[in-house]
Amino acid sequence: MKQMLEYVHGNSIFHRLNPLIKLIWAFVTCVACFISSSHLFLLGVLLMTIVIAGISGVLGRAMGVFKALLVLGLFLMLFQLLFTPHGRVYFYILPGVPVTDLGLSFSLLLMLKMMAALSPLSLMLMLTPMNELLTAMTHNLRVPYRYAFVVVTALRFIPTFSQEMDQIMQAQRSRGHETDTRNPFKKVRVILPMCIPLLISSVRRVETMAISLETRGFCTGPRSCRKKLGFTLFDLLAIIIVVAVLLLSIAIG
Amino acid sequence: MIRFNNVSFSYDNCEELAVSNIHAHIDRGEFVGIIGPSGAGKSTLVNLINGVIPHHLKGDFYGEVLVCGKDTVESSCGEISHHVGSVFQDPESQMVSTVVEDEIAFGLENFNLPADEIENRMTDALKMAGIEHLRHESTAALSGGQKQRVTIAAAIALRPKILVLDEPTSELDPQGSRQVFKTLKRLNQEYGMTILIVEQKVMLLSEFCSRLMVMERGRIIMDGPVRQVLEHHDKLLELGINCPRVVTLTKLLKNASLYFGEFPVDVNEAESVIRRIMEGAYDQYSESDLSLQ
C-alpha cells in the first residue's frame, strides 16, 4: 500500500511536468476509462501508463501496483463471470453456473477498466512531490490551503501508520497471538482488535502534529511558495494528448 | 528574554498542578539545560514558553509568562512562533512532509518568505544540522536519529531568537547527541540564540550549558550556573539523576581532602585537576612514593 502512493525522487520528463497537468491526466484518464467499453482502448491506456512508468524510471514500483490491481481485478472478474448467465454457454463451472462468452467479455472489460483507471492515479502520486501537488491544488485549483493540506497529510501518514501496524502485529505475535492465516474471515477477526491500539496511537500522533503545526506558523497569514511552477511546451503537448485520449474514448464508446 | 512570574498550571481533567509557583528569568544568549525526573513538569515548562499552553493545551493558568516582553496569553501561537522555535520529543509525528527538503521549507513558506531567502536558509539549516546529504530523501526512509536532526533543522531554519527543545536527542546515539549539542552551542555563540533544552543526559548538559535548572514535582528546585548546581550532587542522586563521573570523582577527592576548588565539568578539566593534585601529592609524599616504586 505505502509503495503505491509514495513519491519516487527523479528527474525524468514526467517528473518535471507541471503537477496540474499530471493531476488532470490522472483524472481525465480515469473518466475516459469509465466512458469507454472497448477492450482495445483500455489495453492501450494501460500500455501508455506502463510506457510512462518505464520512461520515468519507476517501472519496478509500477509493476507492484499492476500486480496488486491484477489480483483485485481477477477477484472482480471471477464474481462477474459467475453472475452473468446470458450469452453463449462455453461450459458449466458448477451445476447451474455457466461460463458464457458475454460473461467472459464483460468481466474482462471490468478488470481492464479498473486497472486502466486506477493505475494512472497511483503513477501520478509516484511522479509528483507532495509539495508540488499542494501548490497545484492551492494555486491552480483554488482549493483552500487547509483542505489541500488535509489531503496531502493523509497521504503522508500512510507509511507511518503502516509501520505502526507492523509493530503492533509483531508485539502481538511475540506474545503468541496467531496472526498468519489464509482464511480472509479469520484474518479480519485477528486484525480487528489490533486496530484499537493503532487508533489510539494515531490520535496521539495527530495531537503532536497539531502542536508542531502551531509552533511553525501554520495558517497565520499569506503563504509563499518555494517553487515557481511554470508551463512548458511539453505541458501543452501532454494536455493535447490527454484531451485526445478523452475524445477517443467518447468516439469509440 | 523569558520571564516567569509566579506561574502555576494544571491540565484539564487533572487536579494536580503540573507546574507551581515558577519564578524564573532567562536572559538573551543563555544556554539553559532543564533536568529532572519524569512528571516533574519539564515539558510543561517548555510548552509555556512556545505558547502551546494556553493556546493549544487547555487548563488552569495562573501568573504570567513573558516572551520577548509579550504576554503569551495575549499573543497567538502563530505570533509567538516568530520568536520561539520548538523541537519536540517524537520526531515522526512532528513531520508534515514526505521529503526532507519540504519539511524544512514548510515553516519558511508559512512565514511568507521569498523563494531565494527560503533556499538560503534551507541550505544553511541543513548544513548546520549536518544532514545536507539527506536533502532529497523521503522522510519515511530515515532512521530515528536522522528524523530528529531533520526536526531540529526545520526549527533552526526559522532563525528564532529562542529555541526550546524537549528531549531532542532521545533517539540519537552518544555521538549523534554530542553533534546536536555542538550545533546548538554554535547557534548559541554565533547567533546569540537563547536555548532551553530538556535533556536526561546530564554529562552533555554539564559540558555545554551555562545554566542548569533542576525540576521536581512541578517546581524548580535548583537553578544556577552548572558548576554550582553540580555541587549538590547528593540531592541530584536522590532525584535519580546520575551525576557525570567527573563530578563523582571530584566529590571523592573532596571527601579525602585532596581538592577544594570548583567542580570540573568535562574530562579535560578533570584531568588537569587530577594532574595538579598528583603533582602536589608528589611534593608531600615524594620520598615514600619513590621508595614504593
The answer to whether residues B228 and B273 belong to one domain is: no
The answer to whether residues A195 and A113 belong to one domain is: no
The answer to whether residues B218 and B253 belong to one domain is: no
- In which band, very low, low, confident or very high, does the pLDDT at B85 lie, cut at 50, 70 and 90? very high
Residue carrying the nine cell digits 577544594: B260
Q: Which three cell numbers stand for residue B114?
A: 521569498
Query: Which domain does A178 fall in, by range?
Result: 143-214
Instruction: Answer whether residue A135 is part of any domain.
Output: no
Instruction: Answer whether residue A134 is part of any domain.
Output: no
User: Which chain A residue has its CA at the smallest distance from B88's CA?
Assistant: A212
A161-186 pLDDT per residue, tens: 888 888 888 888 888 877 777 787 88
What's the total number of domains in chain A? Answer: 2
Please give the pLDDT value at position A226: 81
Please give the pLDDT value at position B281: 61
User: Taking CB atoms and an 8 Å limit, are B99 and A9 in contact across chains?
Assistant: yes
Indicate the residue type of B129: A
Residue B288 has pLDDT above 60, yes or no: no
**What residues contact B76, with CB distance under 8 A and at least 6 apart?**
A220, B51, B55
Instruction: Answer whether residue A181 is part of any domain.
Output: yes
The answer to whether residues A114 and A6 belong to one domain is: yes
What percent of the residues of chain B are helix, what percent strand, and what percent coil, each to the nearest 5? 45, 20, 30
Please give the pLDDT value at position B290: 44
More confident residue, B197 or B235: B197
The answer to whether residues A93 and A16 belong to one domain is: yes
Residue A51 has pLDDT above 70, yes or no: yes
Residue B287 has pLDDT above 50, yes or no: no
Is the Cβ of A210 closer than 8 Å to some Cβ of chain B? yes
The answer to whether residues B222 and B267 belong to one domain is: no
Instruction: Answer whether residue A167 is part of any domain.
Output: yes
Model ipTM over 0.90: no
The least confident of B85-89, B136-140, B164-168 is: B136-140
The answer to whether residues B224 and B251 belong to one domain is: no
Please give the pLDDT value at position B242: 79
The answer to whether residues B133 and B61 belong to one domain is: yes
pTM of the model: 0.80
What's the total number of domains in chain B? Answer: 2
Cα B222–chain centre separation: 16
Residue B202 is inside which H or E element, if any?
helix B202-208
Is the Cβ of A175 closer than 8 Å to some Cβ of chain B? no
Mutate to test the interface with A, among B43, B82, B83, B94 (most CBs of A within 10 A): B94
User: Taking CB atoms and an 8 Å limit, are A216 and B110 in contact across chains?
Assistant: yes
The answer to whether residues B80 and B210 belong to one domain is: yes
The answer to whether residues A120 and A243 belong to one domain is: yes
Instruction: Answer whether residue A115 is part of any domain.
Output: yes
Provide the chain A residues 115-134 that lie in CB contact (below 8 A) with chain B: 129-131
Query: Which domain does B285 fall in, by range?
Result: 244-293
User: Taking CB atoms and an 8 Å limit, are A206 and B93 in contact across chains?
Assistant: yes
Instruction: Answer whether residue A221 is part of any domain.
Output: no
Task: Count contacts between A and B (CB, < 8 Å).
Answer: 120
Residues of B within 8 A of A130 (CB-CB) are 97-99, 102
- In which band, very low, low, confident or very high, does the pLDDT at A113 lie, cut at 50, 70 and 90? very high
- Please state, in angstroms and rounded to a whole number, the distance separating the CA atoms of residues B100 and B104: 7
Residue A78 has pLDDT above 90, yes or no: no
User: Which chain A residue has its CA at the smallest distance from B102's CA?
Assistant: A131
The answer to whether residues B69 and B125 belong to one domain is: yes
The answer to whether residues A122 and A171 belong to one domain is: no
Residues of B within 8 A of A205 (CB-CB) are 90, 92-93
Which residue among B79, B95, B115 sits closest to A228, beta carbon to beta carbon?
A: B115
